[in-house]
Copies of this chain bind each other. A is one copy, B any other.
């Protein structure tokens, strides 16, 4: 192997391993760490991230990347090595544009702002987060200024989560989506509500865990390379292609919570377990957040809330909770898991209204960043949009503008990825069904391997070699579109709500 390339691989592997080690420390913190470990753990995790950052901004790495240009040009664009050089250079260019002193201040603000939010939210105290949110916006604007020539002030921020995706594109897509979604939600509101009482009751945690495990395993989640633990906020994390873990949260009185969050996280995990092993430690993890979310939402909604999925799993669910389900017919269970109800809380939203929550956030974020909206005006603007788009309004900040951690962790430019994920889930599932028409009937018999195989081949195996756009192109999907998702919703909810 080329000596420079060898050097590059060693440097990148070290950076990746430092970040993965930090992820192990974080996973432990969320799952098993005793409370007394918190103080030292924060210091230890920050230290690993700092070392990774030092190595990622090492000028020697920059010089090495320069020296590898001829090799990169010689290799094909899609080759692993050319992709490694290309992605490494992209990352290097981004992190070195941001002065280390600014990055350090940003880390600090993230921590302080998060703490202020965690303290203030239970007290419904918007004043307690107000100065932090102002700072977050100011810093985020300052961050974008390190990338002169951007089209929109949000673009450099969005690129941290969905590289290359532009605010202009998102706005166009969201305008179209909102125009089609709001009327559909109104129609559903006017229809007779679906009864979902069969999802409420008493569901012992151990029985739920056993059933969820069965579902994840049948979907294709490899427990030899993963595990499921319990945390207040479910998440997926990975320390290598061989160790991809998910967490879930059980509600003893509501079946839907753990079940669909497990399917959702399994969707993420299948992606992280899927890259070509040759990419391990280098490019072996998922692409942008929008693509990542497309995988979780595809499994959670397109598959996990479909009739064919439950044709297969409903007998097992009945066996797990015989008392509860002996009198419930499958079509009634299917309608229950697809109940739509406009509400205040994003994370509890159904698949129809979910995107409205996201678009509200994205639009307000843009307005704040553009300086067209002040943090002071934010709560009112929030409530206005909830009323107009969802027909609900919050009496508290905690259930309103303070409900999500993102802004208070200085994650600006993140929210859109949830909605992009929803749109892409429909586009990718359509592409899979077109290529392999038997997928739906196979799912009804518990066979998920054809679908997973298509995703592996077209999405998963590439790891983070390609940007969102490049990956979509290689899947034959083209750009982000509203049509497939809206067609899916209209067709499905015509049935569920008899529209």
Which residues on A are within 8 Å of B, measured CB to CB?
13-14, 17-18, 20-21, 24-25, 27-28, 32-41, 43-44, 47-48, 51, 222-227, 229, 239-243, 245, 280-281
Give the complex CA separation of A43 and B225 in angstroms.
16
Give the complex CA separation of A389 and B3 in angstroms.
59
CB atoms of A242 and B40 under 8 A apart: yes
List 9 additional contacts besides A33-B243, A41-B243; criterion CB under 8 Å.
Answer: A14-B47, A18-B47, A34-B242, A34-B243, A36-B226, A37-B242, A38-B242, A40-B242, A41-B239
CB atoms of A40 and B227 under 8 A apart: no
The one of B35, B36, B225 that contacts A37, using a Cβ cutoff of 8 Å: B225
- Shortest CB-to-CB span from A302 to chain B, Å, is 28
Report the 10 A-B pairs with minimum CB-CB distance, sorted nearest first: A37-B243, A40-B240, A36-B225, A36-B242, A17-B44, A17-B47, A36-B224, A37-B242, A21-B44, A35-B224
The one of B21, B33, B34, B242 that contacts A48, using a Cβ cutoff of 8 Å: B21
CB atoms of B36 and A222 under 8 A apart: yes
- Shortest CB-to-CB span from A273 to chain B, Å, is 9
Give the complex CA separation of A243 and B39 in angstroms.
10
CB atoms of A36 and B281 under 8 A apart: no
Give the complex CA separation of A262 and B226 in angstroms.
29
A-B contacts, 25 of them at CB < 8 A, read: A13-B43, A17-B40, A17-B44, A18-B47, A20-B40, A21-B21, A24-B44, A27-B28, A28-B28, A32-B227, A34-B224, A34-B225, A34-B243, A36-B222, A36-B240, A36-B242, A36-B243, A37-B239, A38-B242, A40-B239, A40-B240, A40-B241, A41-B240, A43-B281, A44-B239
Give the complex CA separation of A47 and B22 in angstroms.
13
CB atoms of A44 and B28 under 8 A apart: no
- Shortest CB-to-CB span from A217 to chain B, Å, is 13
Q: Which residues of B contact A43 (CB under 8 A)?
A: 13, 17, 281
Q: How many copies does the complex hold?
A: 2
Most buried by B among A43, A224, A241: A43
Q: Which residues of B contact A226 (CB under 8 A)?
A: 34, 36
Q: Which residues of B contact A24 (CB under 8 A)?
A: 24-25, 28, 44
- Shortest CB-to-CB span from A245 to chain B, Å, is 8
Give the complex CA separation of A47 and B33 in angstroms.
23
Q: Which residues of B contact A40 (CB under 8 A)?
A: 17, 20, 239-243, 280-281
Q: Which residues of B contact A32 (CB under 8 A)?
A: 32, 227, 229
- Shortest CB-to-CB span from A448 to chain B, Å, is 20
Q: Which residues of B contact A33 (CB under 8 A)?
A: 243
Check A240/B28 contact, CB under 8 A, given A223-B34, A224-B34: no
Q: Which residues of B contact A222 (CB under 8 A)?
A: 36
Give the complex CA separation of A38 and B241 in angstroms.
11
Give the complex CA separation of A104 and B224 in angstroms.
31
Give the complex CA separation of A467 and B18 in angstroms.
33
Check A34/B240 contact, CB under 8 A, given A21-B44, A40-B281, A47-B14: no
CB atoms of A37 and B223 under 8 A apart: no
- Shortest CB-to-CB span from A104 to chain B, Å, is 15
CB atoms of A25 and B34 under 8 A apart: no
The one of B13, B34, B240, B280 that contacts A227, using a Cβ cutoff of 8 Å: B34
Give the complex CA separation of A240 and B44 in angstroms.
10
Q: Which residues of B contact A280 (CB under 8 A)?
A: 40
Give the complex CA separation of A47 and B48 in angstroms.
12
CB atoms of A39 and B240 under 8 A apart: yes
Q: Which residues of B contact A14 (CB under 8 A)?
A: 47
Q: Which residues of B contact A223 (CB under 8 A)?
A: 34
The one of B13, B39, B225 that contacts A242, using a Cβ cutoff of 8 Å: B39
For A21, the closest partner residue in chain B by CB is: B44
Give the complex CA separation of A162 and B253 in angstroms.
56
Give the complex CA separation of A20 and B280 in angstroms.
25
For A222, the closest partner residue in chain B by CB is: B36
Q: Which residues of B contact A38 (CB under 8 A)?
A: 242
Q: Which residues of B contact A240 (CB under 8 A)?
A: 36-37, 39-41, 44
For A227, the closest partner residue in chain B by CB is: B34
